[in-house]
Amino acid sequence: MNTEKPVPDDALADLHRDTLAVRAAVERSQYGENSEALYLTSGYVQPSAEAAARRFAGDEEGFTYGRYGNPTVASLEQRLAALEGAEACMSTASGMSAILLMCMGLLKAGDHVICSHSMFGSTIKLIGTDLAKFGVESSFVSQTDVNAWKSAIKPSTRLLFAETPTNPLTDVCDIRALADVAHNAGALLCVDNCFATPALQRPIALGSDIVMHSGTKYLDGQGRVMAGALCASQALVIKSFLPIMKSAGMTLAPFNAWVVLKGLETLDIRMQAQSARAMALAQWLQAHPAVARVHYPGLTSHPQHELAMAQQSGCGGAVLSFEVKAADADQGRQRAFHVLDAMQMLSLSTNLGDTKTLVAHPASTSHGRLTEVQRQLAGVSQGLIRVAVGLEHITDIQTDLDRGLSSI
Ligand SMILES: *Cc1c(COP(=O)(O)O)cnc(C)c1O
């Protein structure tokens, strides 16, 4: 492969983020293709036995085996690292495998992790239940109360793991404050940046040590592939994550890496356009007689509105949730189901981060595996509906939601 770089590495530092999204990490082959090449190969031919030995020993750069690395995957990692302002990045097959890789790389039996109650459902399950089998301890605290995170610190605390804004209530936590709590305790902070993406929020600049992504969401942005990533220092990626990747193999497929790499090119304009629609929809829902409450960081009624605006480039993001008016949980569930089943265009889907608006009932789907107590702590009521706003015209989105809302 000809490694001629259209933009030399040392010139990249001066470029704006929108430029990096389309120009960082382009490795052209001898054919001079303008769009990034897709290298579908599981193995690599070695130039000599000596070179192969050096590469396997880590003394020389060069690809050896698909589980360890791939040029297309490396391009995605470099571009995402550039957007997050991180030294390095390691991509994975899904967002959950990125969390597993991080935990396997950083924790051993007896170590302690602190997360918030309102993390992604599978994250609570993985850290609170599955890793507990291997002796990893965990505490779950209030998303927004920094003192609760501080009080949960133990001598064995190695990692604080936060998600902001959260799914589905869009609770916001103070990244800089949590970074201080972690560092004062000799622990690391990881932020799941799935909802805001580097287009709106860059946790590393606020003191976070690791940024975790589900590339399945906004990074791909068009609902096509699964992907995940960890952005961090070179030292963490090389010393803590790479050895686990080599032995455990949660490797991102080159095709999926290529799809996400191209998705990054439009990330910023998609996030801006989808957030503008989410803001308009939040205001419309707030004024709707059938709606009890709207959760959206862009609204001044949101409890952490000011923090969110400061931390997220003045933007609320593309996800909101709302509660239908109801007398009790049973009626809430019945009315939420009525709204979902009355839709004719919007997609009833638990995914998010698509150009198509996706609407879901968290209590019976994404948060369905949680116990009733966990679900209440996460604030997920039976009348709650989540909307991941896409790129349709705002009037069409409102009309489709209004079919059910106005006939409750
Ligand atoms: C989807 C999601 C994940 C998990 O990612 P997968 O790609 O589905 O494995 C983690 N965190 C958040 C906030 C998510 O929305």
Per-residue pLDDT 10s for the chain (408 aa) are 334 455 666 777 788 999 999 999 888 999 999 999 999 999 999 999 999 999 999 899 999 999 999 999 999 999 999 999 999 999 999 999 999 999 999 999 999 999 998 888 889 999 999 999 999 999 999 999 999 999 999 999 999 999 999 989 999 999 999 999 999 999 999 999 999 999 999 999 999 999 999 999 999 999 999 999 999 999 999 999 999 999 999 999 999 999 999 999 999 999 999 999 999 999 999 999 999 999 999 999 999 999 999 999 999 999 999 999 999 999 999 999 999 999 999 999 999 999 999 999 999 998 887 787 878 877 899 999 999 999 999 999 999 999 999 999
- Residue 194 near ligand 1, beta carbon < 6 Å: yes
Beta sheet of 319-324, edge-to-edge order: 291-295, 319-324, 384-388, 358-360, 347-348
Peptide bond between residue 165 and the one before it cis (omega within 30 degrees of 0):
yes
**Residues 90/248, Cβ–Cβ less than 8 Å:** no
Residue 216 near ligand 1, beta carbon < 6 Å: yes
Region(s) of the chain under CATH 3.90.1150.10: 268-405
- The whole-angstrom separation of Cα 383 and Cα 339 is 10
* Whole-Å CA distances, 281 to 250, 353, 400: 38, 16, 12
CA 170 – ligand 1 centroid, Å: 15
Ligand 1 pocket, residue 193 CB under 6 Å: no
What separation in Å is there between the alpha carbon of 120 and the centre of ligand 1? Answer: 7
DSSP string, 14-32: TS-HHHHHHHTT----TT-
Q: Are 283 and 297 contacting, i.e. CB atoms less than 8 angstroms apart?
A: no
Q: Does domain 17-266 have CATH number 3.40.640.10?
A: yes
Cα(408) to ligand 1 centroid in Å equals 32
Q: How far is the CA of 96 from the centre of ligand 1 (A)?
A: 6
76 C-beta closer than 6 A to ligand 1: no
Cβ of residue 120 lying under 6 Å from some atom of ligand 1: yes
- DSSP state for residue 45 in the 8-state scheme: -
Whether ligand 1 lies within 6 angstroms of the CB of 127 is answered as no
Token pair in block for residue 347: 């997609």
CATH topology for the 268-405 domain: Aspartate Aminotransferase, domain 1 (3.90.1150)
* Residue spans in the chain of domains classed CATH 3.40.640.10: 17-266
Q: 114 CB less than 6 Å from ligand 1?
A: no
Q: Give the β-pairing of 291-295 and 228-232.
A: unpaired
The ligand 1 atom nearest the CA atom of 227: 7
The beta-strand segments (E) located in 185-245 are: 188-192, 210-214, 228-232
Residue nearest to atom 8 of ligand 1 (CA): 95
- Answering whether pTM is above 0.85, one says yes
